[in-house]
Amino acid sequence: MNQKHFPIAALFALALLVLLAGCAQVVAPSGGARDEQPPRLDSLHSTANYQTHFEKQDILLIFDEFIQLHDPYNQIVISPPLSKRPEVKVEKYRRIRLRFDDEEELHPNTTYTIYFGEAIKDFTEGNAADLRFVFSTGDHIDSLAAEGRVVDAVTGQGVPDVLVMLYEAAGWEDSIPSRDLPLYFARTDAQGAYRLENLRRDSFRLFALKDANGNYRFDQSAELIAFSDSLVVSGRDSTGVESLPPLRLFAQEQPLLLLDRIQPRYGLLKLLFNRPPYELSESSFEPASAFICRKAEQDSLLLWYHSSDTAALQVILSGGDFSDTVSLQPKGRAEFLSDHSLGFRQTLPAVQEAPARGKTDAQGSRPAAVPLVQVQKQLPETPIVLEFDTPLKSFRDGLFLWERDSLPLASSPLISIDSADCRNLHIEHPWQEGSVYRLQLLPGAVEDVYGGRLQDTTRFAWRIEKRENLSSLHLKLSFPDAAQTYVLQLKQGGELLWEQSVSGVEEWEHRFAVLEPGKYKVVVIEDRNGNDCYDTGDYWKHRQPERLAEKVPEELRPNWEVEVVWKVEF
């Protein structure tokens, strides 16, 4: 018999290859299309789902690809809760084993649901398996369900990927969503719809959460939430499926906080808050004679003052749940007042030197050129607004020189200081379509509260737009409750163009005579607390966000009026 002899070196190399193969690391394959499929359960070789007469045993779940466990402590939720947390581990890269604690006793005739959340992910791309494991220790599995939608409280659009959770109603406390895991939960789809399944016959509290940190708890103040004021009672509907009203998702209102104070110069204090300080309806100075006016701008409050000396001032702020006192030392008073002059806040129109015209005089000189001012567009029936940089005290009509189409204006426009912003002048007049109005503001025409005046002649020019190039919008609204207060808004894009509060009426009508052609939106806010603005919800105060309704009229075209007849419903 012939025998083949292998060299010792070859045998050693073969053994080394086997050893390396056994110790090879699992790595993501390189190249190819990105894997977007989550792991799929091999139901044939896994512990059977939806069992009845279940007895305590290990639950083995086998998948079609390599998997990993992600944050199982927070992601895996069992309903009803167990007394002991089970052990969950990965075996042989493709298996999940859930082992109940030795002391755990499952309740008789009870349906259990194990929600795996995003705990089971594939090894390469992190795609999460959508898996619920359901079993019953009795002879049937609870089959009741509840469904509904989660919508944005402002836009009314469905919100995807929101956790909708049920908690036991018995022994309910408001703090439960921030500290305890839910009994049941579901996630909304792309349209904001959800369905809670395998519910027992019982009463529950309903809470929705845009979970920022993935722990199924409302433990971050910036997380979006929604809640139901009433109990969810499963099993009342003959179909076994409860249809629930929409949940309106909102950002919890943050307590107002004063973040910083800035004194850009003497006479102005700028207070910075963590959000718009709309509830600060009161602000006063000690001494009171130092206070001039105030203006809220986004997250800031501007306060102007003027004192007779440099003694410290006290600014007293109050409104809603907020109150604070700010000490202020008027610095730089003498320097500011010594060289202060009034300036403009708005961008002034461009000015060009016009060529000199006319005959030369005896010395060979031509008349001085009159500067050419860029002509701005102005709508008829709307005031011209001049924006200055400090609060205004007075103006002198005689130093406002007006022309219409190069001729002196026959009657002077009506000028007033804006009550909403003490830095602005409103100029009203029956402006004639197509005409060009020119204004020369002579030095000293306007004076502010600090004695500052215009130092130079300033020129403006406006062309009044023709109505044939403009549009009109006629609103006819009917409200659901005549006793309710409503805030009405007209918006274009993200800009608020007009706002008005109405109350005590069932029917309301208004005509916008001149608007630029384009797309607009009408917004109605149900102003339940009468503060003339929209209020978000507050879970801890059991307050739902105020309701809004929106209407988008057909696009406004030149020389055209659009009529909107709207029965407002929320």
Of the candidates 64, 189, 61, 83, the one whose C-alpha atom is nearest the C-alpha of residue 132 is 61
Is residue 313 very low, low, confident or very high in pLDDT (cuts 50, 70, 90)? very high
Greatest alpha-carbon pair distance for the chain in Å reads 139
Categorise residue 199: left if φ over 0, alpha if ψ from -120 to 50, beta otherwise.
Answer: beta
Q: What is the mean pLDDT of residues 541-550?
A: 96
Of the candidates 254, 311, 309, 244, the one whose C-alpha atom is nearest the C-alpha of residue 279 is 254
pLDDT for 70 equals 94
Q: How many CB atoms lie within 10 A of CB 6?
A: 8
Query: What is the rounded distance in angstroms from the CA atom of residue 547 to the CA atom of residue 76?
Result: 36
- List Cα–Cα distances, 303 to 4, 139, 264, 285, 326, in angstroms: 101, 72, 11, 10, 12
The reply to whether omega before 80 is within 30° of 0 (cis) is yes
Quote the tokens at residue 278.
Answer: 């709309």
Residue appearing with tokens 């059991």? 542
Structure letter (DSSP) for residue 368? P
pLDDT at 370 over 90: no
- Give residue 450's identity as a one-letter amino acid code: Y
Q: What is the mean pLDDT of residues 275-303?
A: 90
pLDDT for 80 equals 87
Is residue 48 very low, low, confident or very high in pLDDT (cuts 50, 70, 90)? very high
Q: Please, where are the H alpha helices in 105-217?
A: 176-179
Give the strands of the sheet with 436-441, arranged side by side: 376-378, 458-464, 436-441, 400-404, 407-408
* CB-based contact 96:120 (threshold 8 Å): yes
pLDDT for 21 equals 45
pLDDT at 385 over 80: yes
Q: What is the mean pLDDT of residues 554-565?
A: 97
pLDDT for 23 equals 45
Query: What is the rounded distance in angstroms from the CA atom of residue 194 to the CA atom of residue 232?
Result: 15
Q: Tell me the average pLDDT of the chain.
A: 90
**List of residues 6+ apart from 97 with CB closer than 8 A:** 58, 59, 60, 61, 87, 88, 89, 90, 91
Q: Helix or strand or coil: residue 206?
A: strand
User: How many Cα atoms are found within 13 Å in the side-chain-facing hemisphere of 437?
Assistant: 25
Cα four-point dihedral sign 226, 230, 235, 237: negative
CA 178 to chain centre: 22
* CB-based contact 309:290 (threshold 8 Å): no
Query: What is the rounded distance in angstroms from the CA atom of residue 192 to the CA atom of residue 208?
Result: 11
Quote the tokens at residue 506.
Answer: 């069932």
Q: Helix or strand or coil: residue 268?
A: strand
* CB-based contact 53:138 (threshold 8 Å): yes
pLDDT per position as a tens digit, 112-145: 999 999 999 999 899 999 999 999 999 999 999 9
Beta strands in 4-143 (DSSP E): 59-62, 67-69, 77-79, 87-91, 95-99, 111-115, 120-122, 132-136
Is residue 368 very low, low, confident or very high in pLDDT (cuts 50, 70, 90)? low
Interstrand relation of 313-319 and 282-286 (parallel, antiparallel or unpaired): antiparallel
Query: What is the rounded distance in angstroms from the CA atom of residue 67 to the CA atom of residue 121?
Result: 6
Q: What is the mean pLDDT of residues 63-72?
A: 95
pLDDT for 359 equals 53
Q: Helix or strand or coil: residue 16?
A: helix
Is residue 347 very low, low, confident or very high in pLDDT (cuts 50, 70, 90)? confident
- Return the C-alpha torsion angle 44, 47, 51, 56, nearest 10: 160
Is residue 284 very low, low, confident or very high in pLDDT (cuts 50, 70, 90)? confident
pLDDT at 22 over 90: no
pLDDT at 464 over 80: yes
Is residue 365 very low, low, confident or very high in pLDDT (cuts 50, 70, 90)? low
pLDDT per position as a tens digit, 154-194: 999 999 999 999 999 999 999 999 999 899 999 999 999 99
Is residue 1 very low, low, confident or very high in pLDDT (cuts 50, 70, 90)? very low
Least confident of 228-232, 319-323, 346-350, 547-551: 346-350
* CB-based contact 212:241 (threshold 8 Å): no
**Percentage above 90 pLDDT, the chain:** 79
- Give residue 139's identity as a one-letter amino acid code: D
**Percentage above 70 pLDDT, the chain:** 91
- List Cα–Cα distances, 355 to 358, 362, 368, 460, 520, in angstroms: 10, 20, 9, 19, 44
Q: What is the mean pLDDT of residues 427-434?
A: 96
Query: What is the rounded distance in angstroms from the CA atom of residue 194 to the CA atom of residue 431?
Result: 57
